[in-house]
Each structure stands twice: as C-alpha cells, then as structure tokens.
Amino acid sequence: MVCSGVLEPLFGDARRYGVPLSEAQSAQFAAYLRVLQDWQARVNLVGDAASDVVQRRHFAESLALGALLREREVLRPDARVLDVGAGAGFPGLPLRIAWPGLRLTLLEATAKKTAFLAAACEAIGCPDVTILTGRAETLGHDRALRGQFDLVLARAVAPLRSLAELMLPFARVGGRAATPKGSRVTQELTEAQTALAALGARAVTLPLPVSGAPQTVVVMIKTAATPAEYPRKDGVPRRSPL
C-alpha cells in the first residue's frame, strides 16, 4: 500500500462512493497531495490545505461526482471533458486519475493556478491533460473548443445563471454540462431558466451522496447550438446574467 495510512481519509470515502483505487492511482493521489501542499505556501490554491480536507472535500468529493455521472452515463470512460475554472484541478483532475481514458482539458483564468496544474499533471504522470490559461468568455469563442466537449464540468465558479453561459458554449449538441450545488440549488435553478433557454439547454438534478453538507448535481443537457453572441464579453455573464 502506498504511503502508510496517509491516504486513509480518501480510501474510506472512495470506497463509500464506489470508486476503487488501484495502487498506481493511490500513488497519483499521494503525489497530487504533496505537490498541492508544497505549492500552497506560495499560491493560494485551496482555502485549507490540511491533508484530510484536501482528500475528502477535493479528491473524494470529485470522485463522488464522477461516480454519479458514470452511473447515469453522463460520463463515458473515453469522454472529452472540460473543467471550467478548475482552480487547483477540481473536479477534473481526480476524475482523470480515476478514469484514465478521459480526454481532459482544464481551463483556468489565473496563470499562477495553471502553472500549478502543469506541475501537478507532471507529478502525477498525466502529460496528456490539456491546460488552458484564459477566461471562459474568450475561449468559448475559440473554434477548437466551442461545441467540442461531451461533458463540461465546473465547481464553485459562479451562480448557475451565470455559470451556464460560461459552460454551455463548450458542450457539443447532445452533450452535457454538470455542476455540483449546495443548499441554494432550487433558487439557482429557478433563476437560471431564462439563461438555459437562451443558451440551448434544459436541466435536471441528481442528489450527490457526499458525507458533508448535502449537494445536488445540476446536469444541463444541450439540446441546441448556443447562439454565436454567447458567451458575452469578460465579466458580463457574472455582472448581468441572462
């Protein structure tokens, strides 16, 4: 076993969430934890980089999301996946460790964070992960990215009404965009209805069985191409949501 018990919090949660981890995958998570704690001294990557917090709130909760999306066939093992506002890599990078066939792109506005993501991908041996520094409002108009992804993920980036405009342009028609939400999910969904209709999507919700506060995954199903005017300019989706 890797790392004599350090990863017990992750192993316990991953088992509960139905995601078995091989020795190789455990070693990748151990390396990810090390590089994250090392960089945290210089770059504010996560609020609290304590080992058990990183393992449970970031690693394991990402795996819980992945397990649910796998079970519902929203996530296929060879899917093209984009994580918008990936920060220190959540939820995308833990999913890439658990399901190595995923073709993962991490998009993040802050260059210090993408520098970390590059270091993390190197440390865990995932040179195939694409890392993009930039804003979703700009990159959402890039022809190599727009409409290209089977699944677009984001966690803790913006209220659903704004987030939908940042995520949906990247999804292919028939693809999905999924984001975990907390206690305000019902209100966020109500407020997002106009935006979803304008962007060519409808939403369903799935309960996410995590150990902490209850969460709900909003799965947006892209039924039509997003009109060319979206996403609007940097900051506009957040400042004046649809």
Instruction: Tell the residue number behind the tokens 């139905």, with chain if given.
Output: 18
Question: Which 160-179 residues touch ligand SAH, going by CB under 6 A?
Answer: 166
CB atoms < 10 A from the CB of 197, how many? 13
Nearer to ligand SAH, 140 or 200 (CB): 140
- Would you count residue 108 as binding ligand SAH (CB under 6 A)? yes
Nearer to ligand SAH, 13 or 137 (CB): 137
- Would you count residue 113 as binding ligand SAH (CB under 6 A)? yes
Give backbone dihedrals phi and psi of 227, rounded to 5 degrees, phi first.
Answer: -55, 145
Number of residues interacting with ligand SAH: please give it, by CB under 6 A: 17
Among 111, 156, 173, 197, binds ligand SAH (CB under 6 A): 156
Residues 210/155, Cβ–Cβ less than 8 Å:
no
Among 19, 63, 74, 86, binds ligand SAH (CB under 6 A): 86
Token duo for residue 205: 């919700």
**Which residues pair with residue 57 across a beta bridge?**
none
- Would you count residue 109 as binding ligand SAH (CB under 6 A)? yes
Token duo for residue 224: 């039509």
Give backbone dihedrals phi and psi of 226, rounded to 5 degrees, phi first.
Answer: -75, 130
Among 66, 87, 94, 241, binds ligand SAH (CB under 6 A): 87
Question: Which 43-82 residues touch ligand SAH, going by CB under 6 A?
Answer: none
State how far the Cα of 90 lies from the Cα of 153, in Å rounded to an integer.
Answer: 9
